[in-house]
Structure 1
Amino acid sequence: MTEAAAPSEPTALTRHIEERYHARHREQLPQLVAMAERVEDVHFGDVGVPDGLSALLHEMLGELEVHMKKEELILFPAIRKGGMPGIETPIAVMRADHAGHDRELAEILRLTANLTLPDGACGTWTGLYRGLDEFARDLTEHMRLENDVLFPQFEAERRADV
């Protein structure tokens, strides 16, 4: 099944991001943390164990929740009202958060050898890496929609008003 293209109109796009990506991240990350903890515990000392992955994912869980709340409670309501003076400041904060999320995704790939499973990986390990792949694709698309589609509509508008 192919996913429908995201809308570009700001109000519709903010709702799409909340319904598609925020909701999904809130489902994905707790499950991924639990699976990573299990893999690290059960396979402690085995070759290829992604030591530190559960801690990284746990940290991301908290950071991403704060990020999504800032969008849901501050930035997206302002966007739905057509913007506000100084909107470039919360947008800049979101862009900085996105850069941090990109670094965390790169660290996930480093810890997991680019999501490469060792021979004979158990079902939990396999499910973890499948879930991480999906999460990474979702988070990357979430950030792309904001950085490349949503935010420029308000940044350019503010520059034009100056």
Structure 2
Amino acid sequence: MTEQFLKIDEQTPVTEIVNGDYRTADVLLKYNIDFCCGGRWPLQVACEARGVSTDLVIQDLETATRRILISPNLNFNSWPIDFLTDYLVHVHHAYMKEALPSIHDHLTKFVAGHRKKFPYLDELQAHFMQLYRKMPSHLQQEEEVLFPYIKRINRAFNGKEPYAELLVRTLRKPIAARMEEEHQQTEELLGNFRRLTGNYSTPEDACVSHRVAFLKLQELDQDLVQHMRLENEILFPRAIAIENTLLGK
């Protein structure tokens, strides 16, 4: 289910659009439209100055601000393992691959222009860069090694295949130890984000770029928390239980 909250027309000031929904910042950046210090012009004027269609920009803005509502009553525990791993890849991994470069670019520009006023931003950027550098290999490892292995032992187990125990003994990966360590590192980085930003709160006189940067980080935080919860509390325990059963533990 999708829902549209922000109303945008050609006379809406650019800054007001981004203040209304931070996700519009990426659309405006795509068309090289300034939404911070020079963003007080109506959208139509800003579009004409850049030689782009106002209708096209509005269409992209409306697409970016659609909100997909997911019921909090979803029972993830009941999902088949194959479906759960696919959900993690196509929802959470896909989000990370798109969000991390966007946050990196925005945070880099924001910190460069505001580090003198807010010295802690350099530390915030350093923690983000740790996450930015380590996450692609983490996602790749899950998609190419861990998730296929979990799917394989699950199918062998459910199909009562005679080779199932041998499969675990020869292909078993240290799911608990390795993933727990990487998730712990991620949780520590998120803790640093929250500490440095005051749980993503901005000063009353903060500029639009300041708010966008913090809200993007908050969105990343929320997605990672759900991502790790699905793995740590549901997927990995179920996979480990299958391994232990096949190994006679």
Q: Normalising to structure 1: TM-score of the pair?
A: 0.90
> 1:56 corresponds to which residue?
127
> 2:70 corresponds to which residue?
3
CA contact (8 A) 2:175 2:240 kept: no
Q: Which runs of 5+ in 2 are unaligned?
A: 1-67, 155-166
Q: Which one has a bigger Cα radius of gyration?
A: 2
Question: Match for 2:103 among 24, 27, 32?
Answer: 32
Question: Match for 1:120 among 202, 205, 209?
Answer: 205
> 1:101 corresponds to which residue?
186
The Cα shift of 1:107 comes to 0.7
Structure of greater relative contact order (alpha carbons < 8 Å, 6+ residues apart) = 1
Q: SS of the counterpart of 2:174?
A: helix
Q: Which runs of 5+ in 1 are unaligned?
A: none
> 1:81 corresponds to which residue?
152
The Cα shift of 1:3 comes to 1.8
Structure with the bigger percentage of helix: 1
CA contact (8 A) 2:153 2:168 kept: no
Pairwise CA RMSD of aligned residues? 1.9
The Cα shift of 1:125 comes to 1.2
> 1:46 corresponds to which residue?
117
1:29 corresponds to which letter in structure 2? Answer: L
CA contact (8 A) 1:43 1:49 kept: no
The Cα shift of 1:105 comes to 0.2
Instruction: Measure, in 2, the Cα distance between the counterparts of 1:10 and 1:157.
Output: 11
- Residue 155 (structure 2) pairs with residue 72 (structure 1): no
> 2:89 corresponds to which residue?
18
The Cα shift of 1:53 comes to 2.0
For 1:65-104, what per-residue CA distance to the aligned partner results, in whole angstroms no more than 9, with x for missing partners? Answer: 1111110010101111125425351342112111110001
Q: Give the stretch that moved more between structures: 76-85 or 95-104.
A: 76-85
Instruction: Measure, in 2, the Cα distance between the counterparts of 1:124 and 1:49.
Output: 16
Instruction: Measure, in 1, the Cα distance between the counterparts of 2:96 and 2:221.
Output: 10
For 1:32-67, what per-residue CA distance to the aligned partner results, in whole angstroms no more than 9, with x for missing partners? Answer: 122221221111221475222222222211211111
The Cα shift of 1:142 comes to 0.3
Q: Normalising to structure 2: TM-score of the pair?
A: 0.60
Instruction: Measure, in 2, the Cα distance between the counterparts of 1:47 and 1:91.
Output: 39
Q: Give the stretch that moved more between structures: 42-51 or 140-149.
A: 42-51
Aligned residue pairs, count: 162
Same amino acid, percent of matched pairs: 27
